[in-house]
Amino acid sequence: MRHGMQFLFSRALRASFATVVLLGAASAARAQIAPVPAGDADKTLAALHDELQRSHDRLVLPGQEKPYYIQYRLLDLDERTIVAEFGGLVSSTTTRNRFMSVDVRVGDYKLDSSDFVSDEGFQGFLGSTGTVGIDRDYDSLRQDLWLATDQAYKQALDSLSHKRVAEEHAVEAAVREKVKRLVGRFPIYQG
């Protein structure tokens, strides 16, 4: 074991966060997606933009609803850790990670697939969230986004279906309870 004072210095030298969102309604006019700035050497934003456009235009299963909300979040983290003792460098490391999250919602603003916990329990933070390659490869990022978007869309359809069934059962139960209370107050004529 070393004696003396040890300093640990960790700092995110470059952390960038990109969020791309598409909001729209089935009955509303076609939603507009902002263009990527010209001369952008990093193709990350272009990949997010193009995959969002593709999902907006083509993401739908036969007989199912199109998504009205799609959100991509990408955190690009470059972390440096420097350890020194008595003014001398002991170690220095660099870590690079990219994390993405995809949120897809079907339905409409009054009733959509978000914020629903079914009998199967909470299923968030899995599937459409994860790490992506750090090489900033346009095609690789689009493929990762496509797979996550497809999975999030299918989960959203399933969630909305369960949410609608739960809502119907809640309404039916409330109506039955009201009828029981009304019938209990008045004698029923059996003639």
In tens, the pLDDT along 41-63 reads 778 888 999 999 999 999 999 99
Summarize the confidence of residues 159-177 as an average pLDDT: 78
Report the chain's C-alpha Rg in angstroms: 26
Give domain status of residue 1, yes or no: no
Give a yes or no: residue 190 inside a domain.
no
Domain membership of residue 30 (yes or no) is yes
The beta strand positions in the chain, using DSSP E, are 6-23, 67-85, 88-106, 129-131
Spatial separation of the C-alpha atoms in residues 151 and 66, rounded to whole Å: 14
For the cut 60, the answer to whether the pLDDT of residue 89 exceeds it is: yes
d(CA 99, CA 74): 6
Encoded amino acid at 134, one letter: I
pLDDT value for 146: 92
In three-state secondary structure terms, 107 is: strand
Number of domains in the chain: 1
Domain holding 133, by residue range, is 6-185
Q: Between these two residues, 162 and 178, which has the higher pLDDT value?
A: 162
Domain annotation covers residue 14: yes
Structural contact between residues 127 and 152, judged by C-beta atoms closer than 8 angstroms: yes
| % of the chain exceeding 70 in pLDDT | 62
